[in-house]
Structure 1
């Protein structure tokens, strides 16, 4: 299926189809029954579990459960080609006790490696571990993050043997800066896993729209993992542009470094990310060329490119 989708996507990705799809009718006829069956299973399963733990409103409440299948084709100068399939899922139970939510998700943020390893949001093969799935409860504040700090406290286990308990605290806030278009968002997380120790991350996103189709952002990330025992930071300047109803592009310049007492830069890179809604909010394609200047290669330029296909199976009904 991946080969069929890849060929079809590459052939017509530059065209704007009136029916919100770049796929041929032959391809649509083959993937739609499979997608609908899996999506119904995701919806029915999540809502049945939500009904068991929650209230009778589970059939009428928006449910954000999903399964995402992905296939990445990567090339890096000096490393060659690699293919990397992946699956991620999240089970959302919104009508459990008021402001209490049961969450099941794979590959949580704490398992996605260092900032240097994350790069273009790609995981190394050894990080894609089914044992990284977590199940837990989150207590929501229910506050509007544009007016107050929106906090969330969670606890649960990493689903493997022996079970690995965790605690997690999140806090988010959004500010409008004066009467102008600038906004500042803060997203913060502190967590503890019995096997990996403590994790802390803060993200500050400063940005504004330039016009109806362009948005400018400056993002600062600071992250610390007990397992790595290194404070990391990254600075990103990015320009987001809407190209059409189903296409967006992002141009970014990124600096990644480490250590607070003796700061050092480990990587500079330039990145362009083109994302296309290939088929009706179900199938997406990303094309990501990058130019890296790594410390471990004496900052010599090295090219890389990633082609990523993603298919979503969502709990809520999606228009076909």
Structure 2
């Protein structure tokens, strides 16, 4: 109930943005947002100046290179839809508060509020980013206590990302961070090939965590632009973890297209599999093993900026078929509200 109240409060705040006011005049919400954004930027600039001087000043700044039309389309699509790919690799500066609510026909309804921040360090652009991720009302206490039972995937994370200069066509990102107060290090490598209208990008990630030991994952993206302001993507991925049997794998086919300024749609068909999947069937208390594709999901999302350029809403109806439900259809609808602060473009 507490989480639902928080979700309702955030959506009520967004609704308040639509209060009647003369065109061009600021409302109280606008002034409140501007104050928070200015504070965020001022704090990050102070950190930025200190970090830039410590690392050698202008010599540490990276230079932006010219990008092809397809590469620009890929970045615009990933940024707009806040895809997993964008969140994993972006050097962009952004502050995001997200509220989401999902209802299901077979599974429990879900609701959550999360906070994610990459501080805008302009002097060390594309080199360093301080980050704070996956903060919600249930795990925020784990920031200040070392919980031995916290789920690593749901734990709050904070630390420093370092984006190394490109070498031999390979981009590298290194992370030194904490999940709760458990330290971890991560290395991510990717490169892009563009053969005949396609962008092919392999990505390899390695992570060692004091809590969860070693894990690694591979992703492979095939992107093309069928028409202007559109993107078709094929994504393949796999991964393993120490002390866990088998290998997780999956695939997704996605079509993304922009409708007008600050609005767009996406249609995604995804598959999830495992070589040693353990699950508990409906109506049973005994776990079972399965090797193969255990989940299929078809989702259609519509996302647009509403009321203000820093507020986005996305609605996504979907249907999933999962092994634990004996592949019966689970119909769902999710609603997401994103509010951005700082210098988010």
Counterpart for residue 159 of structure 2: 135
Of 169, 186, 197 in structure 2, the residue corresponding to residue 168 of structure 1 is 186
**Residue number in structure 2 paired with 1:254:** 270
Q: 2:104 aligns with which of 76, 91, 101?
A: 76
Deviation track 1:210-237 (CA, whole Å, cap 9, x = no partner) reads 1113321111111223364441111111
- Structure 2 CA distance for aligned equivalents of residues 126 and 168 of structure 1: 18
Partner residue in 2 for 1:192: 208
Shift of 1:3: 3.8
Structure 2 CA distance for partners of 1:197 and 1:287, relative to 1, 3 Å:
same
Match of 2:172 among 138, 151, 169: 151
CA 1:307–1:206 in structure 2 vs 1: closer, same or farther (change >3 Å)? same
TM (normalized to structure 1)?
Answer: 0.75
Given candidates 32, 47, 50, the residue that maps to 1:49 is: 47
Structure 2 unaligned blocks of 5 or more: 1-8, 65-90, 136-149, 278-289
> What are the Cα deviations for residues 142-171 of structure 1, in whole angstroms up to 9, with x where unaligned?
228xx70112333x34164xx422221111
**Hey, what does 1:112 align to over in structure 2?**
none
Cα contact 2:239–2:248 (8 A) shared by 1? yes
Residue 10 of structure 2: which of 2, 13, 26 is its match? 2
Normalised TM-score (structure 2): 0.70
Q: Judging changes above 3 Å, is the alpha-carbon distance between structure 1 residues 127 and 274 closer, same or farther for their aligned structure 2 residues? A: farther
Q: How many residues align?
A: 277
Compute the RMSD of aligned alpha carbons: 3.4
Cα offsets for 1:156-213 (capped at 9, x unmatched):
34164xx422221111111011xx2112112221111101111212111112111113
Please say if 1:39 is aligned against 2:37. yes
Which whole-Å CA distance do the structure 1 matches of 2:97 and 2:262 have between them?
Answer: 20
Equivalent residue in structure 2 for 1:303, among 328, 331, 334: 331
Of 66, 73, 76 in structure 1, the residue corresponding to residue 94 of structure 2 is 66
Judged with a 3 Å threshold, the aligned counterparts in structure 2 of structure 1 residues 165 and 73 are, in CA distance, closer, same or farther, namely closer
Gaps of 5+ in 1: 9-21, 109-124
Cα distance, 1:300–1:317 mapped onto 2, change above 3 Å: closer
Mapped to 2, the partners of 1:100 and 1:293 lie a distance apart of: 42
Q: 1:128 to 1:257 in 2, by over 3 A?
A: closer
Cα distance in 2 between the residues matched to 1:172 and 1:128 = 23
Contact 1:94 1:101 in 2 (8 A): no
Q: Contact (CA 8 Å) 1:95, 1:101: kept in 2 or not?
A: no
Distance 1:228 1:249, change over 3 A: farther
Equivalent position SS for 1:307: strand
| Contact 1:203–1:220, Cα closer than 8 Å, also in 2 | yes
Pick which of 27-36 and 98-107 moved more: 98-107
Would the aligned equivalents of 1:42 and 1:65 in 2 still touch at CA under 8 Å?
no
- Would the alpha carbon gap of residues 225 and 273 (structure 1) be closer, same or farther in structure 2, given more than 3 Å must change? farther
Indicate the SS of the match to 1:141: strand
